[in-house]
Amino acid sequence: MTEENKEVIEEITEEQNEQPIEETIEEVIDETKFDSAGDPDVIKIDLDAVNDQQQEQEVVEEKDNNVEQVVEEVTEQPVMEEVTEEEKVEEVAEAVEEAVEEAVATGKPLPENIQKLVDFMDETGGDIQDYVNLNRDVSSMDDSDILDEYYRSKKSHLTAEERNFLLEEKFGIDEEIDDEKAIRSKKIALKEQVAEAKAYLDRQKSKYYEDIKAGSKLTQEQQDAINFYHKYNKDQESQKKLSEKSKRTFLNKTDSFFGQNFKGFEYNVGDKKYRFNVKDVDKVKKTQVDINNFVNKFVGDDKSTIEDAAGYHKSLYTAMNADAIAKHFYEQGKADAIKGQVAKDKNINLDPRKTHGETNVGGVKYKVLGQSSSELKNRSFKIRKRK
């Protein structure tokens, strides 16, 4: 038994070893038959190797072309894209955010359309999506969009594919199969269905508004933002009313001050009062009714930066201390007058006295005999006439 096994094993191994061996035969080229044999300056070229390189290069170029074609197909984008409702909501949200930031920064009121959205969110608690749905113009929608919206609301248990199947089954037209009567019947049915869908969607707006109002969809952050904005608006409104009231009071008092009884500005100098008369009262009133006219005297070319700081502070200090400055110059004037009078009194005139000669008046000569009035009273004089 063991001998048989050995024979079998030997036979198998012999069969395995007797595999055909491919012999590679190299073609020996006799170079001696060429004239250039043995010439070292002649370059030898293996044409088989050149052909192999050309084939490899062609394969690589084909692969590169295929790659470029694939890349071009991937980067190609459609020219027309449908604007989805989510994109509209995002655009509205960005517009609202920018408008609110600008209103807070500048103090200007919100645009009317943005203000309506904010009021809607505050009153109902709805979000921007709800506002877009409520303000959607059904009459401008495409018939297919209207029917899709209608079926989505009425048959919410069906998938989008099932709803499209029903619409195609009821209103789809195949001119090769349907006759003229069937086509007309489907067109009329489609028209009635669209009209019914429009009426339904319009009715849903009021119901949708009440549903939104009943359950707020706003997050706490959105509600806080709306509360902040409304508080800001109320503060601005209160500040505006207060400012307008203060302005009216000031204008009324200004009109009263510059009335018919106005004679000028009075200054208190010690226990006395002095008045500075004003020639053009209306011009002074018009200038001083706006404090910006005072400030603008000292600003630069940019109309906002005070360039003449020295002039500004001097004028403002003078305005805030008008009576004290008037008293200072009044006292200074008095002191200068007394000083001048004293200097004049100390200046004694040493010029000799002048004697009066005869005076001829109407042919009559007069002669003053003394300068003292007392001497004239006690002394007699005669008027002599010439012969």
The amino acid at residue 8 is: V
Quick one: residue 316, left, alpha or beta (phi over 0 = left, psi -120 to 50 = alpha)? alpha
Provide the 8-state DSSP code for 303: S
Task: Write down the mean pLDDT value for the chain.
Answer: 71
Start-to-end C-alpha separation, the chain: 215
Which CA distances in Å does 363 have to 1, 356, 368, 382? 204, 18, 17, 16
- In 3D, which of 280, 278, 308 has the Cα closest to residue 294? 308
The amino acid at residue 222 is: Q
* Mean pLDDT of all residues in 292-317: 87
pLDDT digits (tens, 9 = 90+) for 251-301: 899 888 888 888 888 888 888 888 888 888 888 888 888 888 888 888 888
* Mean pLDDT of all residues in 201-225: 67
Given this model, what pLDDT does residue 367 score?
62
Q: Which helix (DSSP H) or strand (DSSP E) does residue 358 occupy?
A: strand 358-361
Determine which of 155-164, 336-345, 365-374 has the lowest per-residue pLDDT on average. 365-374
Residue 67 reports pLDDT greater than 80: no
Residue 41 reports pLDDT greater than 70: no
Which residues touch 366 (CB under 8 Å, ≥6 apart)? 358, 359, 360, 383
C-alpha to C-alpha distance for 357 and 365, rounded to whole angstroms: 10
